[in-house]
Amino acid sequence: MKTIVIPTTQNVELEYPVADIGDRIAAFFIDFLIQIGYLILVYMFLEEFHARPSTGWSIIIFLPVALYTIVSEIALNGQTIGKRVRNLRVIRFDGSAPSLGDFFLRWLLRLVDIYTMYGVVAVFTISINKKGQRLGDLAAGTTVIKQKLVADFDDTIFRNLDEGYEMKFPQIAMLSDKDMSILKEVLDAGLKSNNPEILKRLSDKVKSVTGIKAEMKEEVFLEYVLRDYNYLYGK
């Protein structure tokens, strides 16, 4: 499995799997079906009213198909509907969202990557590139990642709780699943790198957001937060 390491704002490097060719082709075909569905609906509408659009109107009608990918990726933060279904996202290698210029380059080079030789160029480029990049990605400095790793139970936010477990910090109710997933990722990275500063900053951030006041080791506190969250929402 190809992976890339993405730095976060907490100065922690997180490893994500690069989207494989199968996932990217599947996402492409989902988007393709959406675009074909749109054209079929337009055709049925025109047939119903026996309309024959002029060349100018034909161009306007086709614009949503031509601009579908770039508009979707800008509006959905690096995703099209197909990528969202396959849980993929376009990112830069520094972990930031691509700029408008990056999205434009990726979209423009689709003409070579995908629509020349039926996508052979894109498949070949992704296959030989260790970072899963087609020509558009190479030009824009981007790649496409899978947002969820295949993880063991211990790698998730879930915890087995002893019978009779008592909740310690009810304030964690204001945290979301996304907050907890980020907390777990940063906690694991901090423990793996043996970096107490990361754990302290993470612990301070959780306390600041929730208003919790607790005097205990950072890793112990954060583990209690995870357990309390499971107790609150896993019953």
As a whole number of angstroms, the distance between CA 219 and CA 200 comes to: 8
- Whole-number pLDDT of residue 152: 43
Task: Tell the residue number behind the tokens 């026996």, with chain if given.
Answer: 50
Q: Tens-of-pLDDT digits for all 235 residues of the chain?
A: 787 777 655 455 567 889 999 999 999 999 999 999 999 999 999 998 888 889 999 999 999 999 999 999 999 999 999 999 999 999 998 878 899 999 999 999 999 999 988 899 999 999 998 899 999 999 999 999 988 644 444 455 666 677 788 889 999 888 887 788 888 888 888 888 888 888 899 999 999 999 999 888 999 999 899 888 888 876 5
Q: Strand, helix or coil at 7?
A: strand
The predicted pLDDT at position 150 comes to 42
Alpha-carbon span 209 to 131, nearest angstrom: 36
Residue 155: φ, ψ to 5°: -90, 0
pLDDT score at 2: 80
What is the predicted pLDDT for the residue at 73?
Answer: 96
Beta strand 142-146 pairing with 88-92: antiparallel
DSSP strands (E only) in the chain: 3-7, 13-17, 88-92, 142-146
Half-sphere exposure of 114 (CA within 13 A, CB side): 15
For residue 25, give every residue at least 6 positions away whose Cβ sits within 8 Å of its Cβ, in sequence order, or none: 119, 123
What Å distances lie between residue 74 and 85, 171, 189, CA to CA?
17, 35, 30
- The DSSP bridge partners found for residue 14 are 6
pLDDT score, position 30: 97
Amino acid occupying residue 149: L
Distance of CA 130 to the CA centre of its chain: 19
Residue 159 is encoded by which pair of tokens? Answer: 């915890």
3-state secondary structure of 201: helix
The predicted structure's pLDDT at residue 121: 95
- Enumerate long-range contacts of 218-225, CB under 8 Å, 24 or more apart: 219/187, 219/190, 219/191, 222/183, 222/187, 223/187, 224/168, 224/169, 225/169, 225/172, 225/175, 225/180, 225/183
